[in-house]
Amino acid sequence: MEINYSKIYFIGIGGIGMSSIALYYLNNKKFVGGYDKIKTELTLKLSKTGAQIHYESDLSNIPKEFKDKSNTLIIYTPAISKDNIELNYFIENGYNVLKRSEVLGIISQNKFCIAIAGTHGKTTTSTILSHLLYDNNINFTSFIGGISENYNSNLIENGQDIILVEADEFDRSFLTLSPNIACITSIDSDHLDIYHTGNELEKSFKVFANNIKKDGVLFNSYDLPFNGISYGISSNAQFCIKNYRIEDDYVFFDIKYNNGICKNIRFEMPGMHNVCNALAAFAICKNLKIKDDDLVKSFKTFKGVKRRFSYVLKSPKILIDDYAHHPKEIQAIYDSVNSLYPNKKIMAVFQPHLFSRTRDFMNEFANELSKFNEIVLMKIYPARENPINGIDSSALLNKINSNNKKLLERRDLISHIVKSKAEVIVVMGAGDISNEVDKIKNAILN
């Protein structure tokens, strides 16, 4: 199937995955519009590029151009409510309505496709890989689930021979893809509102791995139950990290592979989890025949991903912003911060994301957060969910083993941080807590 429509309408256009597709179609001279409930930097960028966007879900707000059924494709995100008035209008009136993941499947189906999957690490891996490809003038377009600091975008274009996509496991979206190269970074239990058990999640990843095209290649983290080309910190992995060290806020490491070694890679993102993401990107680049020396140069200029261990401030206090919303991610953040600043007091500011995830991992969240010197919890960010009886941030707070813990209203957050003796503040969550980060920075500086 080809997408031959001249008009594309997005329901949930501001989502990180949706906005990259909207930008792609704007760049391909399609007439683009859509709805989202909140105005953000992403929606403002799309509007400036020509998209017609409104923020009240109402049939009267749909521009008349999109009432032309024969020339209009509707794309929606599964995060949108099933009772959304606009979505139901288009379905009931016989428009062609596709999920975001189906569109990525169509865009990539006749191209050489690279798909990066995993419950954690896929955005960072996709963004690193995009930079390595761009910097080495590979002909590709990538749709990533975060904002690249190098390109200030979640869409990176340098031709269309290769389509690089972040393969999202939420609601089994990634099963629409048939990649030539696939990578699986992790399969820790998550999205149990969809999968119910970790075994069901793992089965879905195995189906994804089986969807690789004939003669295609799978790369996977060494600790996962797949038979792809393995990478990791284990010396038994086919691509492995050696000589990892931190010098002056930079990470340095070597990569051993195929009886050879690539030495002295300098990388700006701290933490072994991020180095493993860099390793996955390196392994894929070797499959694409990019030379070691060129990759070493490109790693030096990689600036990172917004909200993935992003330094907002380094003095007088250290302020770090991160998307971490799963216990394993919080564990990785703590390990990274503690290794960088072993003698400093570290505060975690955490906004739980989803009632169901908080319920499913309540004890694990409590265990990881208890490691910090000081813990501040915010109310749960509900996203697509309704409240669950007995599941709230108070219940999580009670399980945290610490004498220095608090549940705060948003209005009290900044004054609390300014008064705190913590020297390192890590703001974590996948909701809207990032909106507070610049305010925190300004309060610390003033």
Identify the CATH number of the domain in which residue 214 sits: 3.40.1190.10
> Once rounded to an integer, what is the mean pLDDT over residues 398-408?
95
- Going by pLDDT thresholds of 50, 70 and 90, the confidence category of residue 246 is confident
- Comparing 32-36, 143-147, 180-184, 306-310, which segment has the lowest mean pLDDT? 306-310
> Once rounded to an integer, what is the mean pLDDT over residues 227-239?
95
Residue 136 lies in a domain: yes
Tell which wins on pLDDT, 370 or 171.
370
The answer, yes or no, to whether residue 141 has pLDDT greater than 70, is: yes
The answer, yes or no, to whether residue 259 has pLDDT greater than 80, is: no
Element housing 4 (H / E): none
Tell which wins on pLDDT, 192 or 336.
336
> Once rounded to an integer, what is the mean pLDDT over residues 304-315?
88
25 in Cβ contact with 91 (< 8 Å): no
Name the residue with tokens 């009267």.
60
Residue-level pLDDT at 172: 72
Question: Average per-residue pLDDT in the chain?
Answer: 91
> Once rounded to an integer, what is the mean pLDDT over residues 48-60?
94
In this structure, are 185 and 225 located in the same domain? yes
In this structure, are 146 and 284 located in the same domain? yes
In this structure, are 123 and 204 located in the same domain? yes
The answer, yes or no, to whether residue 409 has pLDDT greater than 80, is: yes
The answer, yes or no, to whether residue 196 has pLDDT greater than 60, is: no
In this structure, are 168 and 141 located in the same domain? yes
CATH number at residue 416: 3.90.190.20
Number of domains in the chain: 3
In this structure, are 13 and 93 located in the same domain? yes
Q: Are strands 7-11 and 72-76 parallel, antiparallel or unpaired?
A: parallel
Tell which of 41, 71, 100 closes a domain: 100
Residue-level pLDDT at 262: 96
Residue 2 lies in a domain: no
Residue 105 lies in a domain: no
In this structure, are 233 and 120 located in the same domain? yes
Report residue 322: phi and psi, to 5°: -145, 150
- Going by pLDDT thresholds of 50, 70 and 90, the confidence category of residue 397 is very high
Residue-level pLDDT at 198: 64
Hey, how many other C-beta atoms are within 10 angstroms of the C-beta on 387? 10
Tell which of 73, 100, 127 closes a domain: 100
- Comparing 240-254, 389-403, 415-429, which segment has the lowest mean pLDDT? 240-254
Tell which of 242, 267, 300 closes a domain: 300
Going by C-alpha positions, the residue among 133, 145, 148, 125 that lies closest to residue 278 is: 125
In this structure, are 378 and 360 located in the same domain? yes
Domain of 324 in residue numbering reads as 310-445
In this structure, are 250 and 321 located in the same domain? no
Residue-level pLDDT at 190: 58
Residue 1 lies in a domain: no
Residue-level pLDDT at 377: 97
> Once rounded to an integer, what is the mean pLDDT over residues 242-251?
87
Write the DSSP assignment of 277-308 as a string of letters. Answer: HHHHHHHHHHHTT--HHHHHHHHHT---BTTS
In this structure, are 240 and 339 located in the same domain? no
> Once rounded to an integer, what is the mean pLDDT over residues 249-259?
90
423 CA to centre of own chain = 27
Residue 343 lies in a domain: yes
Residue 150 lies in a domain: yes
Share of the chain above pLDDT 70, in %: 97
In this structure, are 322 and 418 located in the same domain? yes
Going by the DSSP 8-state scheme, the letter that residue 391 receives in this structure is -
Dmax (CA) for the chain in angstroms is 64
In this structure, are 253 and 327 located in the same domain? no
Residue-level pLDDT at 82: 83
Residue-level pLDDT at 299: 97
> Once rounded to an integer, what is the mean pLDDT over residues 354-363?
92
Residue-level pLDDT at 352: 96
CATH number at residue 42: 3.40.50.720
Distance CA 172, CA 166 (A): 13
Contact partners, residue 155, CB within 8 Å, separation at least 6 = 20, 23, 24, 27, 141, 142, 143, 144
Residue-level pLDDT at 192: 55
- Judged on CB neighbours under 10 Å (0-12, 13-18, 19+), 40 is middle
In this structure, are 398 and 284 located in the same domain? no
The answer, yes or no, to whether residue 170 has pLDDT greater than 70, is: no
- Going by pLDDT thresholds of 50, 70 and 90, the confidence category of residue 199 is confident
Residue 413 lies in a domain: yes
Residue 305 lies in a domain: no
Element housing 97 (H / E): strand 96-99
- Going by pLDDT thresholds of 50, 70 and 90, the confidence category of residue 350 is very high
